[in-house]
Each structure stands twice: as structure tokens, then as C-alpha cells.
Structure 1
Amino acid sequence: MNITIREFDEADRADLQLLYLAFRKAAADAQVHEGKHQGPAVLCIPGLERASGRNRARWSILPDDQALNPDRTLDPPMAIYTAEVIWSRDGQKFIDNRYSRKHILRFDGGIDVAGSSSPHVIPPPGSAIDAVDPEEAFVASLSSCHMLWFLYIAADQGFIVDHYHDAAEGVMARNAAGKLMMTVVTLRPEVRFSGDRQPTRAELDELHHRAHEECFIANSVKSEVRCEPRESMS
């Protein structure tokens, strides 16, 4: 894959949509010589620097050849989501590869979450077992998105949900190309309802099916997402 690298300078930090569209438009100049990318279009800006009050986006990659189509309409994004990932060496040795992978995940609402590599990938103490690893966050993201759509659809249909508990699970394995990936994520939600109207099993399955179809995250990944609802214990 050969990708043209372009450099941009965006003075107005407030107008993130213009910055996004500038990168999407620039991607039309990229040349992709391999087969179709099987995932969604990805915008990666790994070198966002701040200097003299200006954001300098060093380079971008959009590996989906459809996204690189110059004739494709560049619709404005519905929303832009941000996260900060912060790690410091703090005097540790580094080149021996025994440094701590613990870091901070910072979100725009002001919350900091402890992050780390997975203990299945890097054994402790290199990984912190009391922190969230990317694989767990991936599973939680799919589960949370599914739940939020389920609650919305249930309310819209007049069902009263009292409690929702998903014991989700993700499996990492090698794909056909020999690359490690999250191949399957299985959602196992248990939902408790109240009120005179209780969903039948068929209605419950349809609520979950619709939630899966609408879930932004499920629509963005290559992993197989399964839903195996559990019987409520109430």
C-alpha cells in the first residue's frame, strides 16, 4: 500500500469539522494499490502537535479505497470524538522492554481511567491488572453501545426496563491472514422489565436485533458480534 503523505496546518482549533474535511479531501490524492480494505474508513492522525497555540496535524491515513475516491461526497461528520492517551517513562529503563505499560486514558468529560496492556499479552508487572486494557475497552464499547440502543428502542415501544446486565466476552485469535484480532465478541445481556407489558421472547430477541443493527460501534468493526440474551432471574 502506497499512501501519499500530506501536511496541513490548522490555525482555528474551534473548527474541528473543517480540519476533518481537509484531511478527507486530501485523502483523495492517496494511491492505494492493494485489494479492498475490509473494515471501515479510518482517519488516523498520530502526530497532532501543539505549538504556539496552533494544532499541527502531521499526517493522516485513510486505508479504505472507497474513502479515497475523489468522486465520493464528503459529508460533514455528525460528531467528532476525542480521547487522550498519556504515558510517561518516569525514570524506568526503556530499551530492556520491561517498562510499565500503565497509562492514563483521559476523556473530555474530565474523567481519567487507568489503562494498561493486557496481562495476557504482557505479563505483570509490565501490565497492571487493575487497569483497563484495549481489548477489554473494545468489548465494553460494543456492549455499552448495544445496551444504549436497546434501552432507547425498548422505551420507544413502551417497555419499562428496570435493570440491564451484560456479561460480555471477547475472543482474540488469528484471522485468515494470520493476524491477531478480536474475532468474536459475544454479548450476554440479562434484562429485567416491570409494568403490565412484558416482552415475549420473540419481542425480546427483536429488541436485541434492532439494537445490534443500530449500534454505531458494531457497524464500525470487523469482529463478529453475537448476542445471546440470558433469562432474567427476577
Structure 2
Amino acid sequence: MPSARQHTYETEVVWTGNLGTGTDSYRSYRRTHEVSAAGLPPLAGSADPHFRGDADRWNPEQLLLAALAQCHMLSYLHVCAVGGVVVTAYTDHATGTMEETGDGGGHFTRALLRPQVEVASPEMADKARSLHADAHRLCFIANSVNFPVNHEASVTVAGA
């Protein structure tokens, strides 16, 4: 049996929210941090504003949803390129639902991706719609989460 190819990823998260007394109390620190990886610009992170975070910084919940949307898009563009469908534009307005639990934790219960795809010609539209299923099956991130990732895709034709 051939061995699976493995890929390793590294990031660094550095907390920047110590206001002088550390986590002395729930209100004594900021949730700010920086997410970085070698050779890439840092992302300014925080908690969701509902959890005392800063609204002008990315939170982990948004990053998870963005990773799902990015992965689907990249898988979709691949299957379209291989399948002879010319995509000329792609936008996704994704939403995710997270539920808090009584113990202070929580979990995502679903994600809904809404890719809006534009293709080069009318004869590509039907195949473009069907390839979302293949992209979902290939998406590394969707295959790694324990909640449903659904799609409401639309396809239009350039210049139509």
C-alpha cells in the first residue's frame, strides 16, 4: 500500500494583550494577538467581540469560516480547470453558526458557503454547477471539520 503524502504547516500565535497584570482577572487583559507564518504578513487577531474581543481584528471563528470558503474555492477552481470550465469570477458570502454550551465552551453546528461563479460561456454553466460537489469532496478543510458544510452556489455567464 503506498504511503500517504504528508504536509506540515506551521504558524505562530503571540498574545499581545497583557495590560501589565496578565490574566489577573477576566477583565484585566485584552484578547489581542498576532498570527504569523514564515514569510507572510501577520494577521491581527482577537476574540469575537461577544467575548471581550476587538471588532477590528480577525477572530478564530471568522478564520475557520474563511478557511472553509478558501479551500472550497481553490478546490473548485482546480476541478473547473481540469474539467474544461473557464471561471472568470468567483465570490463567496459564507456564514457559519456556532453555539455556546453551558460550560463556557461551544462548537460550530454548520457552515453555509454561497459561491457566486461566473463562467465564460453558456455551455459551461451546468457543468460549473455540478463541479461544486467534486470540489466539496476534495476540500481538505471541509474534510477536517465535524459539522456540515453546505453550499448554495449560483452560476452566471460572463456578458449575459
Cα deviation for residue 96 of structure 1 reads: 1.9
Higher RCO by CA contacts (8 Å cutoff, separation 6 or greater): 2
Asked if the contact 2:88–2:118 (Cα under 8 Å) also holds between the matched residues in 1, the reply is: yes
Which is further off, 107-116 or 83-92? Answer: 83-92
Matched, 1:127 2:53: yes
Q: Which amino acid aligns with 1:102?
A: T
Cα deviation for residue 221 of structure 1 reads: 0.8
Asked if the contact 1:117–1:127 (Cα under 8 Å) also holds between the matched residues in 2, the reply is: yes
Matched, 1:229 2:129: no
Q: In structure 1, what is the equivalent of residue 117 of structure 2?
A: 191
Cα deviation for residue 94 of structure 1 reads: 2.7
Q: In structure 2, what is the equivalent of residue 38 of structure 1?
A: none
Q: In structure 1, what is the equivalent of residue 45 of structure 2?
A: 115
Q: Which amino acid aligns with 1:135?
A: E
Q: In structure 1, what is the equivalent of residue 133 of structure 2?
A: 209
> For the structure 1 residues 154 and 114, does the alpha-carbon distance in structure 2 shift closer, same or farther, using more than 3 Å as the test?
same
Q: In structure 2, what is the equivalent of residue 91 of structure 1?
A: 20
Output the CA distance in 2 between the equivalents of 1:158 and 1:76: 28
CA deviations 1:52-101 (Å, max 9, x no partner) are xxxxxxxxxxxxxxxxxxxxx9x565210011000131525531222110
Let me know the Cα RMSD of the aligned residues.
2.4
Mapping of 1:36-115 within 5 angstroms? 75=3, 77-88=5-16, 89-92=18-21, 94-98=23-27, 99-115=29-45
Matched, 1:138 2:67: no
Give the % identical residues: 34
Query: In structure 1, the residue corresponding to 2:140 is in which secondary structure?
Result: coil
Output the CA distance in 1 between the equivalents of 2:49 and 2:8: 31
Query: In structure 1, the residue corresponding to 2:68 is in which secondary structure?
Result: helix
Q: In structure 2, what is the equivalent of residue 164 of structure 1?
A: 90
> For the structure 1 residues 230 and 154, does the alpha-carbon distance in structure 2 shift closer, same or farther, using more than 3 Å as the test?
same
Output the CA distance in 2 between the equivalents of 1:161 and 1:183: 31
Output the CA distance in 1 between the equivalents of 2:58 and 2:11: 14
Asked if the contact 2:47–2:59 (Cα under 8 Å) also holds between the matched residues in 1, the reply is: yes
Asked if the contact 2:118–2:156 (Cα under 8 Å) also holds between the matched residues in 1, the reply is: yes
Query: Structure 1: any 5+ residue segments left out of the alignment?
Result: 1-72
Matched, 1:155 2:81: yes
Output the CA distance in 1 between the equivalents of 2:24 and 2:105: 26
CA deviations 1:123-142 (Å, max 9, x no partner) are xxx31111111110010101
